[in-house]
Amino acid sequence: MDHQSRGADDDRGRKLRQKRIGDQLRRLYDEVTEEAVPEEFLNLLEQADNSSKKQK
Amino acid sequence: MTQPTLDDQAFKTELAGLIPHLRAFARSLCGNATAADDLAQEAMLKAWKARESYQSGTNLKAWTFTILRNLFYSEKRRSWRRQQLDPEVAEATLVSNDDPSSALDLLALRTGLTVLPEDQREALILVGAGGLSYEETAEICGCAVGTIKSRVSRARKALAEIIENSSGGYAGDGKLRASEAFDDIMKQADELSSGSSADV
């Protein structure tokens, strides 16, 4: 019984730590997705689109 | 029966909408923001050129991530290959955060990510942060679903170990200097990675 409840505590602790890691991983990723997209990206895409239109 | 392809305008709109994710995935591979944007731009242009081979109805995000990943691994000599965590990024992580223990955890996570084997790191990022399924991630990485599951679980375990070892001694000490914290976490990470084959 004692053994079992300790096991359950360990388990809960592990799950909490993993949840924290998961939250922070998403935070690192979202820090980038929430940045404004540099204009260079959209300009490059427009240029690529324009030059493919000319070829057609 | 093949699905019709998206017309150029629709494809362009969808691709533009994925730029934030391309940048985030690239950042996780490169570690350095400038190199990551360089990689993300090339991947975007490659995806545009290959648009006719994209089947509409399938996951465009997974498709573009595959392109980005192939580009990253095929050009090993390019500058965007990952380097160690920049100490300036480490410092900024610590000072920009109001809660010192959370800042240390975040720094430990950043550092921990740099010492994970590449295959584990990318699996963890795609599944844990990028919102891709195990199946999609397996397709992006070109391996079996079971392999991805085991990489993710090993990565989680290793990160938990790094974070536990590095933040344990600092609870309540908000005056810890950033450079000391960084050195200490790097040391923990080195010890952890020397026991496994980090250079996969």
The most distant pair of C-alpha atoms in chain A lies apart, rounded to whole Å, by: 76
Q: What is the pLDDT of residues B19-74, one digit of tens each?
A: 999 999 999 888 678 889 999 999 999 999 999 999 888 899 999 999 999 999 88
State chain B's mean pLDDT as an integer. 81
Cβ-Cβ contacts under 8 Å, B128 against chain A: 21-22, 25-26
CB contact under 8 A, A44 and B44: yes
Whether B91 and B19 map to the same domain: the answer is no
Q: How many domains does chain B have?
A: 2
What's the pLDDT at B24? Answer: 95
Which one of B21, B51, B74 terminates a domain?
A: B74
Tell me if B12 and A49 make a contact (CB, 8 A cut-off).
yes
Point out the residue among B37, B105, B109 whose CB comes nearest to the CB of A38: B37
Whether the CB of A12 is below 8 Å from some CB of chain B: the reply is no
Residue that wins the pLDDT comparison between B165 and B181: B165
A33 with B12: Cβ contact below 8 A? no
Q: Identify the pLDDT of residue B169.
A: 42
Which residues on A lie below 8 Å from B20 (Cβ)? 32-35, 37
Nearest to B109 among A21, A34, A52 (CB): A21
CATH of the domain at B40: 1.10.1740.10
Q: Do A20 and B110 touch (CB under 8 A)?
A: no
Q: Per-residue confidence at B174, pLDDT binned at 50, 70, 90?
A: very low
pLDDT at A1 over 60: no
CB-CB under 8 Å, B40 with A28: no
The answer to whether the CB of B127 falls within 8 A of the CB of B152 is yes
Same domain, B31 and B100: no
The answer, yes or no, to whether residue A21 has pLDDT greater than 60, is yes
Q: What are phi and psi of B199, to 5 degrees?
A: -95, 65
pLDDT of A36 reads 95
- The pLDDT, as a whole number, for residue A15 is 84
| Same-domain status, B13 and B63 | yes
Return the pLDDT at B110.
Answer: 84
pLDDT tens-digit map of B139-160: 999 999 999 999 999 999 999 8
Do residues B30 and B117 share a domain? Answer: no
For residue A1, give the 3-state DSSP assignment: coil
State pLDDT tens for residues B97-122: 666 667 777 888 888 888 899 899 99
Range of the domain at B46: 8-74
Contact flag B109-A24 (C-beta cutoff 8 Å): yes
Mean pLDDT of B115-130: 93
Residue B39 lies in a domain: yes
Helix (H, G, I), strand (E, B), or coil: what is residue A28?
helix
Q: Side-chain half-sphere of B73: how many Cα atoms within 13 Å?
A: 12
